Structure 1
Amino acid sequence: MSESAKRFVLGQLQRTGVVLNGPNPWDPQVHNDRLWARLLRDGTLGLGESYMEGWWDAEALDQFLFRLVDASIQDAFPKDLAVMWSLARGRLLNLQRLRVTEVGEKHYDIGNDLYAAMLDRRMVYSCGYWQGADSLEAAQEAKLDLVCRKLDLKPGMHILDIGSGWGGFLHFAAERYGVSGVGVTVSKEQAALANERTAGLPVETRLLDYQALEGQFDRIISIGMFEHVGYKNYRAYFEKAASLLKPDGLMLLHTIGGHTSTTHGDPWSEKYIFPNGMLPSIAQIGKAIEGLFVMEDWHNFGADYDRTLMAWRDRFDAAWPTLAGEKYDERFRRMWRYYLSSFAAVFRARHLSLWQIVLSPRGVPGGYTSLR
């Protein structure tokens, strides 16, 4: 089995320009010959877990993974049990509603020190806008300002941020555009730090599921949260947003998107990074907003996520000497670098996109002006 598995995997690698134990920084160095059977049995879950356990290395991890993704090497592998289990769970269960707080507890609550070290000073945990930007700080500020301009924010408006994280957008919008607002998150650590960081501003962050929200808002923003909603809940999500938005309001949805409709996530990412994570497609979003919103603008700058993720990885690497310890061990370091590198690789290969979608309840009178 191991020899036939090795022949199969190496045969697929030949298509990628990768050389086993080769001299290039993207060439994998294999330390355990049990790797081949594990890859054939466990697919992407096995690839990620074997890296976490030190079975192989690649100096330029993102470049190695990019070559695998760009060649669509996964399509040549047989369906593994991890994928089949992920597919079955997605079809049979609605874990995004059964376990609303799980992603907060297992991802966003792992440590504000980690995120403060990795992210920009506002702790914005979503794709930056790199058009004209030369640093992570500049790219994130450009993204926040782009959102404010797309929503035509005016002083005195009352806004809602669904999935508001550490309060970075609310802080920015209140200071620069004179608005008040409410943010919601299912992460205890995010809520506590967000309210600490925005003290004195007319904004607040609530530890609350978005479905429990009440009120009316001039604008609704949701940045990097829709990936946790789940395909069974897309319609309910937009119905809730429609009920909260004033008739003359605007909503901006900022989300990672997939190019085909799916009903489950990636097994490795689901297990180690984003529990119950799932990426929407254009078709799924279109069906979910039908009859509720007019789509005013759809902007794709997914290539910018590659640069954002690599900036996060560089900052994580630089901060590692101060983070390393009992809380974050070597296995965590490898897991986190694999997470950032693999996501960067997928965006670099353009297998995923990043969309900003502007929606209105009735259509903007006279038309909406698209901004970039």
Structure 2
Amino acid sequence: MATVVHGAKKGSSYKGTSSKAILHQYDFLGDFYRLFLGPELVFSYGMWEEGDTLESAQNRKLDYHAEAAHAVGADRVLDVGCGYGSLLHRLVTVHHVKHAVGITMSPGQATWARDQHWPRCEVRAENWFDHKPDGPYDAIIAIEVIEHCAGNTVWRAKRVARYREFFQHCHSWLRPGGRLSVQANAWNERGWLASLVLPPQQLAPHGSGGTRERLGLKDILGGIKNVREGLHASRKVYPECFLPTRDELIDASCGLFRIVEAHTDPDDGVATVRSWLEKAEANRVRGAELIGEDAVSDIIREQKTALRFLREGRFTVFRMVFEKV
């Protein structure tokens, strides 16, 4: 039977996204999300192939991370940011994991997962900073969690230091040679500011021949709009969150892990958000009854912006597999 263990509070040092912000994102707004996330309640981008439904794309994504982390048939696997527990359930029922542990800061998500009474699953309602495993893990999976690790700081060095804390924790929890599979929303490699303010034609990777002409008035006004939309999302939908870049994660993991796989999949983000947005619009009236029209409008506005940003190459879906050294 799934159990919930509550982590104790410790100290006052920075520990990522606050409990207050998590309650807003996943418990309050979550009442609306559950109307359009699909039957597995997976709140992250799927892996799409032609003919997929949202459900099949999400299951493919879960299976990918289980296999990439070498979790199949493992004794102990940790899911950091387990959400409603869809990966935990799939690990034990499809991938023959003997004991799957999930941690989430959302009391609502933890309670929902516990109430499913899945065998060999343990759900802990705690901050990962406070996680004390009962033993080493064979594999760790962290799907769209790193965005919660750095807060809203604009300073790269501080973000990398906070990401490194995450990698240090994972390193200490893993057996020798254990793997960590990460999925993240990530800014274009040119950095968060350029990702917001530059026109799409200037966001091409360095050395790829992308144009670097001077910005015109239309470009400047577009950049201002993008900053405004980003600030709206960070205030109303994802408070205390910040996207990394690929290089920031590479720097943060240096000396702790070697990278065995890394790729970007923006089309997966486009297909997932498009599906969510269609279902969100269809459930707008019911959503307003649950969380209010303003909150529903904030979510739909953020999703429309995310869809545009993904299509314009401002941010992407990044997947990396790390092996402990």
* Range into which the TM-score falls when normalised by the shorter chain: 0.7 to 0.9
Q: Is the 8 A contact 2:18 2:240 kept in 1?
A: no
Q: Is the 8 A contact 2:46 2:54 kept in 1?
A: yes
2: distance between equivalents of 1:182 and 1:314?
33
1:95 Cα deviation after fit: 9.5
Match of 1:235?
A: 164
Match of 1:332?
A: 295
1:104 Cα deviation after fit: 1.2
Match of 2:180?
A: 251
Aligned length: 267
Residues 122-169 of structure 1 deviation map (CA, whole Å, 9 limit, x = unaligned): 111000111234211111111111112222333242100111111111
2: distance between equivalents of 1:203 and 1:148?
15
Match of 1:222?
A: 142
Match of 1:186?
A: 105
Question: Which one of the candidate residues 262, 286, 294 is aligned to 1:322?
Answer: 286
**Structure possessing the higher radius of gyration over alpha carbons:** 1
Alignment of 1:1-372 (within 5 A): 97=15, 100-110=18-28, 112-179=30-97, 180-197=99-116, 199-215=117-133, 216-230=136-150, 231=159, 232-259=161-188, 260-262=190-192, 266-325=230-289, 327-362=290-325
User: 2:112 is matched by which residue type in structure 1?
Assistant: L
Helix, strand or coil: the match of 1:109?
helix
1:331 Cα deviation after fit: 2.0
User: 1:127 is matched by which residue type in structure 2?
Assistant: Y
User: 1:107 is matched by which residue type in structure 2?
Assistant: Q
1: distance between equivalents of 2:128 and 2:312?
33
User: 2:115 is matched by which residue type in structure 1?
Assistant: E
Using the size of structure 2 for normalisation, the TM-score is 0.77
Q: Is the 8 A contact 2:15 2:127 kept in 1?
A: no
Q: Is the 8 A contact 1:160 1:183 kept in 2?
A: yes
Helix, strand or coil: the match of 1:117?
coil
User: 2:172 is matched by which residue type in structure 1?
Assistant: S
1:200 Cα deviation after fit: 3.3
1:111 Cα deviation after fit: 5.0
1:105 Cα deviation after fit: 1.2
Helix, strand or coil: the match of 1:153?
coil
2: distance between equivalents of 1:115 and 1:143?
19
2: distance between equivalents of 1:287 and 1:205?
31
Structure 2, gaps ≥5 residues long? 1-11, 151-158, 197-226
User: 1:97 is matched by which residue type in structure 2?
Assistant: K
2: distance between equivalents of 1:96 and 1:244?
20
Residues 272-318 of structure 1 deviation map (CA, whole Å, 9 limit, x = unaligned): 01111111112211110110000000021122111101111111122
2: distance between equivalents of 1:96 and 1:317?
37
Using the size of structure 1 for normalisation, the TM-score is 0.68
User: 1:339 is matched by which residue type in structure 2?
Assistant: E
User: Cα–Cα, structure 1 residues 323 and 267, in superposed 2: closer, same or farther, change >3 Å?
Assistant: closer
1:349 Cα deviation after fit: 1.1
Match of 1:72?
A: none
1: distance between equivalents of 2:241 and 2:276?
20
Match of 1:70?
A: none
Structure 1 range deviating more: 181-190 or 102-111: 102-111
Identity score, percent: 24
Structure scoring higher RCO (CA < 8 A, sep ≥ 6) equals 2
1:240 Cα deviation after fit: 0.6
Match of 2:201?
A: none
1: distance between equivalents of 2:317 and 2:74?
30
1: distance between equivalents of 2:254 and 2:178?
17
2: distance between equivalents of 1:111 and 1:272?
10
Helix, strand or coil: the match of 1:251?
strand
User: Cα–Cα, structure 1 residues 286 and 200, in superposed 2: closer, same or farther, change >3 Å?
Assistant: closer
Moved over 4 A (4+): 262-265
1:227 Cα deviation after fit: 0.6
Structure 1, gaps ≥5 residues long? 1-93, 363-372
2: distance between equivalents of 1:229 and 1:331?
27
